[in-house]
Structure 1
């Protein structure tokens, strides 16, 4: 509770207060809570967003998982793939930029000079902290509605659905609680000007597939795509 208590003496500025009210539909009651959510450790304050980010990350994950479960009929692996993409730091930062969050973040002078207002990590952390603050002040239903508005374009679009086959296979394995894919070069053939590579990818307990290409990387990509077509 210390992070909240020590921020009580710091009030929101008018623009931040108006922005939060516009986002949540209610005037902030516990201003110290929202100040903490917007505050980076570089300010030197005795509080920052980290505890609220921890909470908001879980609220975000549950909201997106529920959303995907309701509106898609994919396998667990495909749901996990989309979930991982939608709650990634890049996705969080994109939502933050869309909503103009950087205008209201509280960073120290050096962090600002170092480009902190454009940092995916900081933007992503702060938007999760705001979700946590919304959950504490208004409850899960309001926090869920906030996430669904901020993430509407990403969920209704194709975020997480079109990935490089190797990345998609890695996420599929993680989502299905399998060991990471292993790639082995099976064959290298042909003259130097027309080399041909054959690679086998295997996931323990599931199976393997082979792929070919004019480079080892291309063969690995082909193998991953074939594996997903068969097992994904």
Structure 2
């Protein structure tokens, strides 16, 4: 690098698909002065690339490049170029029976009938593989229900969801009219993980405080709030203490 820098008008450009594997010494001052990251293109970038590669292609009226862009998540420029090439090959393959390869020229009418359609792009999409997602591997672990400790409520919910979808696939019409019902099993399951906010000690403290308050106010030990057991309501207590006063308005 030092020898190249001593020469005038020399530009060194390096490219890599593995930026994390670059020697840190190359990133020091005096080595490569600029580091440009060219990432995976977004929808706008993919649309521009598709327009470039299809500029000299005859496209059918049903081809919607914007729709193709939405189906090409993770595609880089080379992938989109391969996609257009594959779609063109699909189109040419369909016309091979009417094209005479021994002739030096192809009839203009045949050339005018050759157009890449949306079906050709969809077929090409099925055979292509985006470069940005090739290193993404999903491995399904060999784990059974017995290997998972606890999480009984999560297991129960998953089993219910799977069973519901199975019934829906077998008989969709009946599932449309199905109404969710809260059953006793639901309460039993929820009670396993329920926790009271008030302890028994706090309840006894409240009962003692309420009894002391009632006695200090002159209500006696038989005082009950409205709706609490079979005792009289607050209005009945006051009516009794007032000597059976009638229910007329006091201000009338």
Q: TM-score range by the shorter chain?
A: under 0.3
Bigger helix share = 1
Tell which structure's C-alpha radius of gyration is larger: 2
Q: TM-score, normalised by structure 1?
A: 0.22
